[in-house]
Amino acid sequence: MMLAVVGYYEPWWIQILKAILIFAVGLQLVPVVLLAERKLLGRFQSRYGPNRVGPYGALQPLADILKLLTKEQFRPRTSIGFLFVLAPVISILTAVAAFAIIPFGNTQDIFGTKVGLYGIDVSIGPLYLFAFGGIAFYGIMLGGWSSGSKYSFLGAMRGAAQLISYEVSQGLALLGVIFTAQTLSLTGIVQAQSGMWYIVPQFFGFLIFLTASFAETNRAPFDLTEADAELVGGYNTEFGGGRFASYYFAEYLNVLVVSGIVTTVFLGGWLLPFGIHPPGFLDPFIVLFKMSLVTFLFIWVRATLPRLRYDQLMSFGWKVLLPLATLNALVTAILVVATH
């Protein structure tokens, strides 16, 4: 088995090509997830979901996005114009930036040049993710606040509190993996799983990370920032047309990013179990397949669980998830020290 090259950088022109390619692929994945979510939600509720536009409703996302992009760009008179325009851009930028670190495969020889099948292999992998996750708050916060609407503001405030609370647990849940792998590079973490995927030794870490990720991506049952029934739509109430589409796009791209991180960190990335070593060009498809499984789980949970009350959300985050994550990290640390 070829070892993953950690911290490898290609010539600059390959990096630019890679950036364009990965962005294009990510861009195409979002409508697929959008459609998959609506179809699957339908099936979870014993109905078909969209099936009118195109074969099996396949053109539904295209129709939705075209509709949104051709709508008039309006904003409330009380809004703060500059921030109102900037906020969705921040959301989408951070989501795309976070997408860059997901490793889709090992370094491959393509026409005599070694190319890593990822945007960048930063030596601080998870920290990079949390850094951009931190900036992503501003997308929601500024969007809600600059709308000049109380519902948006409430949604944004809830969102801020929720994201801060759950990012702590999310980070601590990854700590166990980092201790075990003894590297922060995501390709290094995948490489360290060649014996056993971390979902087995780090099962609690996996559960905690997954739960915190539901909250981080503002998905059900933690979608209090949107809370359609209470807040009319939360932070994005006043957004319409292309700006709303940007928020929507960022939300689904975040789901993809988290699926990618779960795949990389807990499900062995591009590795297959039982010692099967497929040719290198299959790596991205293995990663995409695993990502789609995690995304299915996201949609499944959305179809199942009702939204939490706000105080339940907070007490769950701080009183249950955070102690469990801390305990998980502590036990892992002790075990790692004891076995070395």
Nearer to other proteins, 43 or 67 (CB): 43
Nearer to other proteins, 48 or 289 (CB): 48
Site pattern 46..65 for other proteins (x: CB under 8 A): xxx-----------------
Please enumerate in sequence order all residues whose Cβ is within 8 A of that of 264, keeping only pairs 6 or more positions apart, or say none.
Answer: 102, 103, 186, 189, 190, 287
**Residue 73 binding other proteins, by CB under 8 A:** no
**Residue 309 binding other proteins, by CB under 8 A:** no
Distance from C-alpha of 202 to C-alpha of 211, rounded to nearest angstrom: 14
Binding segment for other proteins (CB under 8 A), chosen from 81-89, 228-236, 262-270, 296-304, is: 296-304
* 161 contacts 310 by C-beta, under 8 angstroms: no
The residue from 301, 314, 327, 330 that contacts other proteins (CB under 8 A) is: 301
Report CA torsion sign: 302, 308, 310, 315. Answer: negative
Quote the least distance from Cβ 311 to other proteins, whole Å: 15
ω into residue 284 within 30 of 0, thus cis? no
* 317 contacts 172 by C-beta, under 8 angstroms: no
Nearer to other proteins, 16 or 305 (CB): 305
The residue from 25, 43, 62, 113 that contacts other proteins (CB under 8 A) is: 43
Locate tokens 């997830």: which residue? 33
Distance from C-alpha of 292 to C-alpha of 195, rounded to nearest angstrom: 23
Quote the least distance from Cβ 22 to other proteins, whole Å: 32
**Residue 44 binding other proteins, by CB under 8 A:** yes
- What are the φ/ψ torsions at residue 109 (nearest 5 degrees)? -85, 110
The residue from 8, 10, 42, 76 that contacts other proteins (CB under 8 A) is: 42
**Residue 277 binding other proteins, by CB under 8 A:** no
Quote the least distance from Cβ 298 to other proteins, whole Å: 12
Q: For residues 12-41, which are near other proteins according to CB under 8 A?
A: 40
The residue from 9, 82, 285, 300 that contacts other proteins (CB under 8 A) is: 300
Nearer to other proteins, 27 or 305 (CB): 305
| Tokens matching residue 99 | 């997408």
Reduced to 3 states (helix: H, G, I; strand: E, B; else coil), residue 54 is coil
At position 310, the amino acid (one-letter code) is Y
**Residue 304 binding other proteins, by CB under 8 A:** yes
Binding residue count for other proteins, defined by CB under 8 A: 16
Distance from C-alpha of 81 to C-alpha of 298, rounded to nearest angstrom: 34
Binding segment for other proteins (CB under 8 A), chosen from 27-35, 188-196, 234-242, 317-325, is: 317-325
Distance from C-alpha of 138 to C-alpha of 132, rounded to nearest angstrom: 10
Distance from C-alpha of 333 to C-alpha of 9, rounded to nearest angstrom: 31
Residues near other proteins, by CB under 8 A: 40, 42-48, 300-301, 303-305, 319-320, 324
